[in-house]
Chain A
């Protein structure tokens, strides 16, 4: 039952505030983590065989009568469900100890699960308006989660995020209206077929511009990135991990790829626009990250830069580029999730995010220092970690497509990335221990455990990259590489 991915988190979210009255901590912890663990295991074990004969479009029955809940599962949505469940679980495990001092754990987990339900619904939706509705579900939950600490900075960041997000939603709605006006339908398959028949190039161009603006804002592609460096650092660490690791990818990159590549079809002009926007993000955000003193702000700029890599790979339009882009999406989700979590461990132990105040923390927090190093090297693209392989594939794909200049830019941005991640490592963990941190201790069990799991994944995926690509990435990349054909040809009842 694919609907489970939307219904289960919502049902548990509905129960949580009541459960929170019985037990303020333990029951909410168990309920939220068990839900996410179940979804992860279900994705890894039960869903893959379901699409072995091709994509599944399910129509749900209710009391014997057909209702129009139409959900579509193909290689790409399966892959995204895996990413959502995995990072969601990592952040949720971390929250067990980290969210203790915030209070209102039941409301926190409820919002987290609504956000997960929103992302799952977005990934599974088979029409433009449902995609928009679930994008809003995830967004509304995320505004509150950014402001969860209730401090001035958090409320301000949340408001800024809300304002820019509303602009993004407006662009998306206009885009959807234009497409509905031309195609007379919102269903992906019907829209793709209608646009093909009508040959409405200009209208599709206008709609594409609205969608690129809307999803570009959600993905924080430059020049639509202004909200991210404020919003992501202000949120509690596990939420920063989900926002940077998941939300910008699901409601930005995935939605953009699904609509532009699978429904409209990637034209050379669209490809060119996206490539240059992404290249701009990749390089400029890397340089902007170098100048940051705030650890989480540096990570936020890094996210903008890495989303650039992902979109470069996807908008290249070649099968290898698609594999590289999606693989980097997976690797960045894990590594950036990990880094935001370790930043949370540091912030909780020291009470600061200022890199200049830190120093020598590896002596007091050896596990956090090690996991942070693994995450940093992974994003910077150092072998044999997972990030190395995805960046390598993107760079090879750029050369293969006759884009040596963009390939060089990707290498340059990668060198800058390594530079600022080593800066973090040096300023925070290496060197002489700052006297202020004499009494600092390693993070509590669940916080450390979740970072260790994610660091282990960075290493394991790096070593078994070939198997990972074959099992999860290739089927997803095939869906994108087939373009419109993958929806008009194989999505049926």
Chain B
């Protein structure tokens, strides 16, 4: 109970930090830490799959994306991309996805399903057979995000 309370307090503190810190980089890191706290809470409450996703996707992947975006858009600094970065980043990205997938696969095998909870059913079953329409919705959300970035970060040329 004490650990649970401490985790919840830490979660709130780091979320508040993510909102209050002016340095975007620090805010992104605070958000990642908050995410890890939330992931641990998920594990402790018998929702291992939610925990795995929270830590790998939100604390991992999204933080990497945040940090990359901040690095590319920091005001006052003209970030010049070296050719090396063009090669290293895609390689790093692919490596990250592979490691992430392997770790997740390993974790899911080790974690016993909690009987009686909705996650007692195979995870794929719940996601694919139970909430498929939401997956299409998620794809649409990702589309909206990508097109928003394309539209809002566009350069207006003379022709336009």
Contact = CB atoms under 8 A, between A and B. Distances in A.
A144 B147 contact: yes
A182 to B, nearest CB: 16
Interface stretch (B4-12, B16-24, B124-132): B124-132
Contact of A121 (B132, B137, B143): B137
B138 A144 contact: no
B133 A68 contact: yes
Interface residues on B, range: 20 to 34
Interface stretch (B43-51, B57-65, B105-113, B150-158): B150-158
Given A67-B128, A107-B150, A129 B134 contact: yes
A39 to B, nearest CB: 16
B71 interface: no
A325 interface: no
B145 interface: yes
Q: Chain A contact residues: over half helix, strand or loop, or mixed?
A: helix
Given A102-B160, A150-B156, A69 B144 contact: no
A7 B132 CA distance: 13
27 contacts: A7-B136, A10-B136, A10-B139, A10-B143, A13-B147, A104-B150, A104-B160, A110-B150, A114-B140, A114-B147, A115-B144, A121-B133, A121-B136, A121-B137, A127-B133, A130-B134, A133-B133, A136-B141, A137-B141, A140-B141, A140-B148, A141-B147, A144-B151, A144-B152, A147-B152, A148-B151, A148-B152
A140 B160 contact: no
A71 B133 CA distance: 9
Interface in A87-117: 101-104, 107-108, 110-111, 114-115, 117
B159 interface: yes
Contacts of B148: 111, 140-141, 143-144
A17 interface: yes
Contacts of B154: 103-104, 107, 150
B160 A144 contact: no
B132 A133 contact: no
Interface of B: 128-134, 136-141, 143-145, 147-148, 150-152, 154, 156-157, 159-160
A6 interface: yes
A137 B140 contact: yes
10 nearest interchain CB pairs? Answer: A103-B160, A133-B137, A144-B148, A107-B151, A140-B144, A137-B140, A67-B132, A110-B147, A141-B144, A107-B150
A66 interface: yes
A13 B133 contact: no
Interface string A55-91: 0000010000011111100000000000000000000
Contacts of B145: 140
Interface of A: 6-7, 10, 13-14, 17, 60, 66-71, 101-104, 107-108, 110-111, 114-115, 117-118, 121, 125, 127, 129-130, 133-134, 136-137, 140-141, 143-144, 147-148, 150
Contacts of A137: 137, 140-141, 144
Contacts of B147: 13, 17, 107, 110-111, 114, 141, 144
A103 B156 contact: yes
A21 to B, nearest CB: 12
Contact of A133 (B130, B138, B152, B157): B138
A361 B35 CA distance: 58
Contacts of A67: 128-129, 132
Contacts of A129: 131, 134
A130 B132 CA distance: 10
Given A103-B156, A104-B160, A137-B144, A111 B151 contact: yes
Contacts of B143: 10, 13-14, 110, 114
B157 to A, nearest CB: 7
Contacts of A66: 129
A71 B132 CA distance: 11
Nearest to B126: A68
B140 A134 contact: yes
B152 A150 contact: yes
Contacts of A103: 154, 156-157, 159-160
Contacts of A10: 136, 139-140, 143
Contacts of A70: 133
Nearest to A134: B137
A6 B133 CA distance: 10
A14 B140 CA distance: 10
A132 to B, nearest CB: 9
B139 to A, nearest CB: 7
Given A141-B148, A147-B152, A150-B156, A68 B129 contact: yes
- Most chain A beta-carbon contacts within 10 A, residue among B134, B151, B154: B151
A6 B156 CA distance: 31
B137 A69 contact: no
A129 B140 CA distance: 15
Nearest to B140: A137
A130 B152 contact: no
A127 B131 CA distance: 10
Contacts of B157: 103
A172 B128 CA distance: 24
A136 to B, nearest CB: 6
- Most chain A beta-carbon contacts within 10 A, residue among B129, B132, B148, B159: B148
A114 B137 CA distance: 10
B2 to A, nearest CB: 26
Contacts of B133: 68-71, 121, 125, 127, 130, 133
A66 B132 CA distance: 10
B144 A114 contact: yes
Nearest to A122: B137
A13 to B, nearest CB: 6
